[in-house]
């Protein structure tokens, strides 16, 4: 007796050449944005694996054997182990993503049937979600939505090849997206927000974008100037401020060893004042005085704890639980590892305050060396009894002597201040701030260095300032009786355009090639502002939408304390709305045609898909030949359908025809299962 041949189930259906190419292209599009965050070596490894699979597909070569795939998997594991060892035994987030991507590609190497293709497609969705673990720019949301739709389209074609050419897939996916959009918006706005994430994923290494360190020496800020990346964005309540007023304070440097400036070893703290965390709207009262300003800052991750405030900060958002030093430095309770938005209030200009004994010692301390600078400062001290006159003398020195503002100064000698003031005369802001504070201390005027940012481009589209790393700056503060700490920027004496119009106006394009894109005129500049404004809006209203913003939104809508009621009522309304398309479709669908579609789909699952232009008779004959055990049921169903659809009008009712078609369909299903 010969065994009966069974048609393989749908899950083991072999894939066609076009379907293999579809999976390769799908995975390439999913992995492409990962190059932003993965190490270059890991990205090259993934590219090589994917290129290997593509070459096999293009040449129609057979897939690798299981031993060969196993060797490739061991090689991937060995490379991952080497990277873990190199990083000190830390299995970071990027390496976990890379391992998942590599093994998905290796799975694609052995994909032959529909079940394997289904697994690769499902894992593609997981890889798509990993794109959001590093950051969430607005363009990534658009990209992932487009690629997600492409994966859904491929999934539909894999499981239902008969719909190719017979179903408008993209309009169908568009209708599905429109159907789900109200649910997504409703749940995003009203679903209860959490104060903290449910879990935190491991990082490979702490990475920040701001770049300012807590020490300063010649060349440290000059290196940072080369980067056009955004440090933070700020929108000021009220009128636009001139660039000369935009001094964004970070921290104060007191201690100088002849080369490097450092903060005080133990900064003294004072009581912090908190502001209401109103970051969702700008409907705040105006400043209390002309010199007091309120603003919102959206700070990029820095992996540092200090916060940036405009000039002399008074208070920041109370939700930060920030600490404040007596030097008006603001520190967050933890290093900033994600975009942070907070409100600040500052006064432009210093306020009279006493100088403690400890501050006097720090503000006049000097290391050994630099005799020529000491001699010049002593001359000023004896010539000008008023400390402010000594400040003006130093500024006149910088303005009159052949000093130059440049990013490529000569190397300084052992006595760096003497070498800069009397020999090289060329330097950047840290050179001028450092030498100025040295001269003031040597002349008996308490002085210190302040590091932060100066200036910022005003975006007319988003109505906010964009402060980049290239705006990093150092300036000085001197203490004057009756006035307190007064800001003095010696860079302004050498390069006034740096303070008044920004770094771009003070340096040539050959010195800062990284900033060439910022000089783009006309429509390119407008386009850049539009993209930046869109990014800022996305970050402000989507990424940083939290429980406080949700509470304010409910308060403005008069729904305070009614969130559970609104949530349940809204979900009920959306559920009823979801039934409307089904009801409308039920009214308009031809039941006979629906049964024929089920008939075609059942045969397609067993390897006999109907062509788009194939008539019922021809398709029935081909199906009967391909599936002889189901020939009676196929012929019966086809005869009933053709007689009703194309035959002469009869007295039989539609319900009778539907009954016969359903009986034939059940018989067909039983025949195919034998």
Report the pLDDT averaged over residues 327-354.
Answer: 84
Can you tell me the distance from the alpha carbon of 266 to that of 223, in angstroms, rounded to the nearest whole number?
A: 28
Handedness of CA 167, 170, 175, 176 (dihedral sign): positive
Q: For residue 241, how far is the Cα from the chain centroid?
A: 29
Tell me the per-residue pLDDT of 611-631, one tens digit each, with 9 for 90 and over: 877 888 999 999 999 888 889
Q: Which residue has the tokens 């201390």?
A: 441
C-alpha angle with apex 443: 442 to 444, nearest 5 degrees? Answer: 90
Q: Band of the pLDDT at 3, cuts 50, 70, 90?
A: very low
pLDDT of residue 5: 42
3-class DSSP state of 589: coil
CA dist 38 → 41, 97, 142, 445, 539 (Å)? 8, 9, 21, 51, 23
Catalytic residue IDs: 429, 473, 489
Q: Band of the pLDDT at 150, cuts 50, 70, 90?
A: very high
Report the pLDDT averaged over residues 556-566.
Answer: 80
CA dist 443 → 258, 380, 425, 548 (Å)? 17, 7, 21, 52
Rg, Å, the chain Cα set: 35
Please give the DSSP secondary-structure letter assigned to residue 348: S
Shortest CA distance to 491 belongs to which of 430, 417, 402, 418? 430
DSSP E strands: which ranges in 288-441? 292-299, 306-307, 309-310, 312-317, 323-325, 330-331, 340-347, 404-405, 426-427
Shortest CA distance to 310 belongs to which of 413, 141, 195, 452? 452
DSSP E strands: which ranges in 213-337? 230-236, 247-253, 255-256, 261-262, 269-270, 274-275, 292-299, 306-307, 309-310, 312-317, 323-325, 330-331
Please report how the helices 17-31 and 114-130 are oriented relative to each other, as an axis angle in degrees rounded to 10.
10
Q: Output the pTM of the full model.
A: 0.69
Q: Which range, of 50-54, 59-63, 193-197, 554-558, averages the lowest pLDDT?
A: 193-197
Share of the chain above pLDDT 90, in %: 29
Tell me the per-residue pLDDT of 531-556, one tens digit each, with 9 for 90 and over: 887 888 887 778 777 777 787 788 87
Report the pLDDT averaged over residues 421-426.
Answer: 88
């Amino acid at each position: 007796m010969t065994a009966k041949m069974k048609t393989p189930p749908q899950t083991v259906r072999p894939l066609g050449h076009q379907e293999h190419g579809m999976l390769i292209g799908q995975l390439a599009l999913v992995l492409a944005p990962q190059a932003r965050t993965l190490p270059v070596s890991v990205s090259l490894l993934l590219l090589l694996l994917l290129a290997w699979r593509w070459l096999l597909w293009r040449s129609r070569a057979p897939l690798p054997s299981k031993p060969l795939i196993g060797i490739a998997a061991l090689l991937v594991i060995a490379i991952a182990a080497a990277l873990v060892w190199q990083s000190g035994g830390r299995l970071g987030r990027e390496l976990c993503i890379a391992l998942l991507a590599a093994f998905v590609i290796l799975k694609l190497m052995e994909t032959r049937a529909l079940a394997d293709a289904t697994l690769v497609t499902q894992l593609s969705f997981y890889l798509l979600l990993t794109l959001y673990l590093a950051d969430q720019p607005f363009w990534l949301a658009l990209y992932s939505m487009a690629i997600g739709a492409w994966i859904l389209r491929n999934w539909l074609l894999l499981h239902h090849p008969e719909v190719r050419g017979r179903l408008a897939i993209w309009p169908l996916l568009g209708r599905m997206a429109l159907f789900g959009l109200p649910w997504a918006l409703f749940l995003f706005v009203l679903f209860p927000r959490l104060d903290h994430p449910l879990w935190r994923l491991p990082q490979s290494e702490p990475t920040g974008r701001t770049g300012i360190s807590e020490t300063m020496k010649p060349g440290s800020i000059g290196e940072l100037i080369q980067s056009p990346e955004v440090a933070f964005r700020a929108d000021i309540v009220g009128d636009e401020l001139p660039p000369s007023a935009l001094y964004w304070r970070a921290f104060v440097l007191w201690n100088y060893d002849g080369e490097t400036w450092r903060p005080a070893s133990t900064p003294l703290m004072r009581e912090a004042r908190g502001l209401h965390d109103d970051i969702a709207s700008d409907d705040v009262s105006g400043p209390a005085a002309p010199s007091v300003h309120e603003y919102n800052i959206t700070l990029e991750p820095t992996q540092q704890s200090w916060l940036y405030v405009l000039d002399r900060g008074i208070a920041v958002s109370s939700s930060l639980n920030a600490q404040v030093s007596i030097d008006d430095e603001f520190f967050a309770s933890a290093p900033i590892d994600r975009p942070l938005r907070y409100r600040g209030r500052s006064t432009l200009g210093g306020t009279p305050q006493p100088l403690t004994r400890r501050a006097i010692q720090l503000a006049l301390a000097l290391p050994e060396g630099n005799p020529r600078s000491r001699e010049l400062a002593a001359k000023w001290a004896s010539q000008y009894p008023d400390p402010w006159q000594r400040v003006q003398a130093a500024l006149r020195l910088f303005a009159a002597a052949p000093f130059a503002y440049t990013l490529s100064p000569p190397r300084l000698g052992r006595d760096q201040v003497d070498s800069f003031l009397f020999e090289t005369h060329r330097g950047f802001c840290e050179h001028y701030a450092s030498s100025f504070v040295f001269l003031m201390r040597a002349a008996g005027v308490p002085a210190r260095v302040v590091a932060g940012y100066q200036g910022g481009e005003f975006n007319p589209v988003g109505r906010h300032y964009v402060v980049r790393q290239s705006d990093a700056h150092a300036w000085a503060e001197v203490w004057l009786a009756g006035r307190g700490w007064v800001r003095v920027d010696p860079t302004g004496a050498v390069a006034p355009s740096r303070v008044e119009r920004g770094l771009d106006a003070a340096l040539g394009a050959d010195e800062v090639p990284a900033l060439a894109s910022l000089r783009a005129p006309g429509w390119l500049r407008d386009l850049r502002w539009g993209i930046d404004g869109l990014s800022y809006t996305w970050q402000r209203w989507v990424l940083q939408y939290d429980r406080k913003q949700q509470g304010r939104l409910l308060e403005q809508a008069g729904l305070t304390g009614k969130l559970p009621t609104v949530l349940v009522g809204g979900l009920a309304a959306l559920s009823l709305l979801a039934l409307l398309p089904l009801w409308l479709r039920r009214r308009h669908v031809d039941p006979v045609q629906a049964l024929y579609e089920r008939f075609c789909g059942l045969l397609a699952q067993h390897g006999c898909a109907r062509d788009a232009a194939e008539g019922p008779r021809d398709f029935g004959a081909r199906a009967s030949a391909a599936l002889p055990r189901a020939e009676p049921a196929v012929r019966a169903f086809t005869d009933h359908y053709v007689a009703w659809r194309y035959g002469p009008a009869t007295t039989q009712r539609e319900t009778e025809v539907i009954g016969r078609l359903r009986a034939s369909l059940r018989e067909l299903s039983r025949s195919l299962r034998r």
